[in-house]
Amino acid sequence: DAKTTQPNSMESNEEEPVHLPCNHSTISGTDYIHWYRQLPSQGPEYVIHGLTSNVNNRMASLAIAEDRKSSTLILHRATLRDAAVYYCILRDFMEYGNKLVFGAGTILRVKS
């Protein structure tokens, strides 16, 4: 599985935007970039995914570099409820089995 690198932790103020980076320099052409997050004492939840173009949904935006070797998850206005561990995961659409390979993720702390 292609690897991703994320900062161990980040801090943000409430109501401000948060940019969570992810490096994936060995990404292959068949890898989608997925983001999941895990709120305290809960199971992981899907946030967003993309292949080449930037993506927006009600939770966040995903900005993908032109060479696809990095991406950034953008939370437009962080709330206390966004404090969680954020995981950047590559998913190969050719892969049989569909497992998620989680790294250490980024712990996001949101200050009020």
| C-alpha–C-alpha distance, residues 95 and 22, integer Å | 22
**Nearest-approach distance from CB 92 to another protein, in angstroms:** 5
Contact assessment for residue 50 and residue 33, using Cβ atoms and an 8 Å cutoff: yes
Residues at the interface with another protein (CB under 8 A): 30, 32, 38, 41-46, 49, 85, 91-102, 104
**Nearest-approach distance from CB 15 to another protein, in angstroms:** 28
User: Nearer to another protein by C-beta: 12 or 105?
Assistant: 105
**Nearest-approach distance from CB 43 to another protein, in angstroms:** 3
| C-alpha–C-alpha distance, residues 78 and 62, integer Å | 15
| C-alpha–C-alpha distance, residues 26 and 16, integer Å | 32
State the amino acid at position 73 in one-letter form: L
User: Nearer to another protein by C-beta: 13 or 100?
Assistant: 100
